[in-house]
Copies of this chain bind each other. A is one copy, B any other.
Amino acid sequence: MTQLELARSGEVSPIMQAVSTAENVAVETVREQIALGYAVIPANKGHKSLVPQGVGRIFKTKINANLGRSGSHSSIKEELEKLQFAIDAGAEFVMDLSVGKDLMEMRQAMIAASTAPLGTVPIYEALDRLDGDASKLDEEILLSVIKDQAEQGVDFMTLHAGLMNSHVEMAMKRRLGIVSRGGAIMAKWMKEKSRENPLFTRWDDIMAICRQYDVTVSLGDGLRPGCLADASDEAQFAELDSLGELVKRCRADGVQVMVEGPGHVPFDQIQMNMEREQEVCDKAPFYVLGPIVTDVAPGYDHITSSIGATAAAYYGASLLCYVTPSEHLTLPNGDDVRKGVAAHRIAAHAGDVARGLPGARDWDDEMADARGQFKWKRQFELAIDGDEAKRRYMEGKDPDAEDDDYCSMCGKDFCAMRNSQQLQDM
């Protein structure tokens, strides 16, 4: 039985218990949220090294780091290093988006090494098995990849099954068309073959595999907007309606499901987007990429994304896919991964504080206390990236200063907190 089926049957699994403890949420609440489909715990029965993580509005907002090589770039060793970077930096979820040779081998190594739930986009491997010849793609190859990956222990899979032929026309009216890798491949195949989405036509078979291994379906938004101009358009919301239907089918089949979302969205449209997904998809956990709130900042898209992601986390998202500073330009290296994770942990936590998640602000309060008491070591321990904070602090530190009750930003005489404390003592 899947976690969804267990929860519905009234049973509390060890996995639910672990999430309950980690989140400090009553186990009966966890079970109930899973049973309703408002929360998911992506946990393939075969992923032995997994530390389970809950996704849903009753839990802390989580973040996902995309990893994996493209084309000729990067080796298994490098990807394993990036995986460890991402987990050490605090990513709760990871996705392996590799394309190229030896994908099974690389994924096996990543799953074995990963304590985080690991996700994939099976169409990438399907295309690789066909040496990149998308015209040879068919239902059978997709099913065999999904089956193989499920057997390997993949915890969640992005399936662009809601993208219908009728939506593609809508997307062609856009400024930037289709910007999802999987979505574009699928749409092109559908038009070339004049056939419907192969994931959709074989959905029942996919459900059987996912149910067997308890793979959580992550319904891909192949028509997510790729620029502000395309946000919240007909194509995006037509596909969302399809995803809403697929949510029902997953739940009917006992398969855990979450829904992926945009993308590039102006700041003022984020609330509406979050509320619409929650309504159309009956509160299935929303897993968003960004949203990026402006198109003009390549090189800084971890920031454009963390801005949108904070609003998303506040208004309805449960899982934030990070974006790194290399987005739109090249594949991220280890340092980019670190920056992307930090930026999105900020977004997740700021969202949790803003929506009043019980206990979320305690972390900020502890930091404020450490700051007020000039406990620098404690500040570095508490910081989202303590190494980075310490490195900067030490750069400015006067080696002759014996006491530490100020920093070099304002200097001792002008330190507001020193003056404020003297005032307090008066």
User: Which residues of A are at the interface with B, using a C-beta cutoff of 8 A?
Assistant: 70-73, 99, 124, 127, 132, 168, 171-172, 175-181, 183-185, 187-188, 191-192, 226-230, 266-268, 293-300, 302-304, 306-307, 310-311, 314, 325-331, 342-343, 345-347, 349-351, 353-356, 361, 363-365, 367-369, 371-372, 379, 382-385, 388-389, 391-393, 395-398, 407-417, 419-424, 426
Cβ contacts A to B, 9 pairs, < 8 Å: A70-B409, A70-B411, A184-B417, A191-B423, A228-B361, A266-B353, A293-B350, A307-B350, A328-B407
Q: State whether B353 touches A228 (Cβ < 8 A).
A: yes
Q: State whether A268 touches B354 (Cβ < 8 A).
A: yes
Bound complex: CA of A354 vs CA of B72, how far in Å?
40
Bound complex: CA of A73 vs CA of B342, how far in Å?
29
A410 / chain B contacts, CB cutoff of 8 Å: 70, 181
A326 / chain B contacts, CB cutoff of 8 Å: 392, 396, 409
Residue of B nearest to A175 (CB): B368
A369 / chain B contacts, CB cutoff of 8 Å: 175
A73 / chain B contacts, CB cutoff of 8 Å: 396, 408, 411
Q: State whether A70 touches B350 (Cβ < 8 A).
A: no
Bound complex: CA of A327 vs CA of B379, how far in Å?
13
Contact of A411 among B71, B172, B227, B268 (CB under 8 A): B71
- The quantity of this chain's copies bound in the complex is 2
Known A178-B419, A329-B407, A414-B99; contact A300-B343, beta-carbon cutoff 8 A: yes
Bound complex: CA of A384 vs CA of B294, how far in Å?
11
Contact of A297 among B227, B356, B383 (CB under 8 A): B383
> Closest CB of chain B to A404's CB: distance in Å?
13
Bound complex: CA of A192 vs CA of B423, how far in Å?
9
Q: State whether A330 touches B408 (Cβ < 8 A).
A: yes
Q: State whether A420 touches B176 (Cβ < 8 A).
A: yes
Q: State whether B181 touches A414 (Cβ < 8 A).
A: yes
A311 / chain B contacts, CB cutoff of 8 Å: 267, 311
Q: State whether B227 touches A177 (Cβ < 8 A).
A: no
Q: State whether B416 touches A382 (Cβ < 8 A).
A: no
Known A229-B361, A300-B342, A414-B99; contact A331-B409, beta-carbon cutoff 8 A: yes
Q: State whether B307 touches A347 (Cβ < 8 A).
A: yes
Contact of A310 among B267, B361, B365 (CB under 8 A): B267
Bound complex: CA of A345 vs CA of B304, how far in Å?
11
Q: State whether A298 touches B228 (Cβ < 8 A).
A: no
Q: State whether A353 touches B396 (Cβ < 8 A).
A: no
Contact of A172 among B226, B354, B423 (CB under 8 A): B423
Q: State whether A127 touches B413 (Cβ < 8 A).
A: yes
Q: State whether A267 touches B350 (Cβ < 8 A).
A: yes
Q: State whether B372 touches A330 (Cβ < 8 A).
A: no
A363 / chain B contacts, CB cutoff of 8 Å: 296
A347 / chain B contacts, CB cutoff of 8 Å: 307
A415 / chain B contacts, CB cutoff of 8 Å: 181
Q: State whether B416 touches A178 (Cβ < 8 A).
A: yes
Q: State whether A420 touches B329 (Cβ < 8 A).
A: no
A192 / chain B contacts, CB cutoff of 8 Å: 426
Q: State whether B307 touches A346 (Cβ < 8 A).
A: yes
A382 / chain B contacts, CB cutoff of 8 Å: 296
Known A71-B411, A73-B396, A304-B350; contact A228-B368, beta-carbon cutoff 8 A: yes
A407 / chain B contacts, CB cutoff of 8 Å: 328-330
A367 / chain B contacts, CB cutoff of 8 Å: 227, 295-296
Residue of B nearest to A327 (CB): B409
> Closest CB of chain B to A168's CB: distance in Å?
7
A385 / chain B contacts, CB cutoff of 8 Å: 297, 299-300
